[in-house]
Structure 1
């Protein structure tokens, strides 16, 4: 049991640098007391759309898993429809992402996030975050608490570090999957070239 807990903690707090879309704004304690599924404020159309698409994709995967071999043609059709939906999702993201400043290099894990900001934020400031993981096009909502803020020498920016204080477990799992996917891709790219082609 302890080993499982330690493994979960390692997965949750394993970090990686990556470029994602992130928007944030200050909130107060009253707003933080609201349930994430409630949200006294409305999430952006992009996040709402991505979350609905993610829900539909999860349902589709469940349906595919229940198909028998005799229903393979229907399964192939649903797989193609799912791929089509993924392509449409990426197109929508590109269409809704007119502000290039949204794409930021971050240090992210299931436990928190670190990023650059022109505006400083005091320790313990609460922020509402809307995050889009790229290239998966997964939209997330979270509340974070500032735990560190320091100026970056020679620039007008500050490095802001937050811990997630409110995040759906499904969204945390999506971040963990994203982190391991990016790490795997980076490790593959760092491997020395195979010289088989020169033989």
Structure 2
């Protein structure tokens, strides 16, 4: 699937945006793999494990394993809480922004200063559902002034495929949430 085929949703994710310094370049794929901080590797692996056993846990609910299913879900929630705490330590308030939109190929955010088209950025994305964090690199594709601030568009240029899958699941979750909200509003 090409990057243009992924959809974006309007949602506010906490992100860290770090401009690359003078002489700093986007790492190669191999260097990028080695550079990813341990906390982000663990988050990615936990997300892979969660998605691979999700169907089995739901199957237990319908069988005689309802108590076991509840126990496993509770254990998973505890691990996610600890993981969330660990990942929160990776958030730098000085580099914090919030997305306007995000998807599996790009994101947009509002900044107080302009970014240059083609500028390379180190990104950290913090997701609530699924609970995870993503470490990647992006390139600015656009920057427009908007009410004295700047709407910055960025496409991912270094992103693990597992993390792209997490972004797809997070975007789908946001879309489902919006659809449920609209259905409730229609019913009222």
Residue matched to 1:37: 33
Aligned match of 1:121 in 111, 115, 118?
115
Aligned match of 2:144 in 128, 134, 150?
150
CA RMSD of the aligned region, Å?
3.6
Gaps of 5+ in 1: none
Structure 1 residue 90 displacement after superposition = 4.2
Larger radius of gyration: 1
- Answer yes or no: is 1:167 the counterpart of 2:162: no
Cα deviation code 1:43-90 (max 9, x no counterpart)? 4x764563454356457659869x9x7988666543331122223444
Q: How many residue pairs were aligned? A: 182
* TM-score for both structures, normalised by structure 2: 0.74
Give yes or no for contact 2:10–2:101 (8 Å, CA) kept in 1.
yes
Gaps of 5+ in 2: none
Q: CA distance change for structure 1 residues 93 and 147 in 2, over 3 Å: closer, same or farther?
A: same
Residue matched to 2:124: 130
SS in 2 for 1:120: coil
SS in 2 for 1:32: coil
Q: After superposition, where does 1:1-199 map in structure 2 within 5 Å? A: 5=1, 10=5, 12=6, 14-27=7-20, 30-33=25-28, 35=30, 36-39=32-35, 43=37, 47=40, 50-51=43-44, 53-54=46-47, 57=50, 77-90=71-84, 99=93, 102=96, 104-153=98-147, 155=148, 157-191=149-183, 192-194=185-187
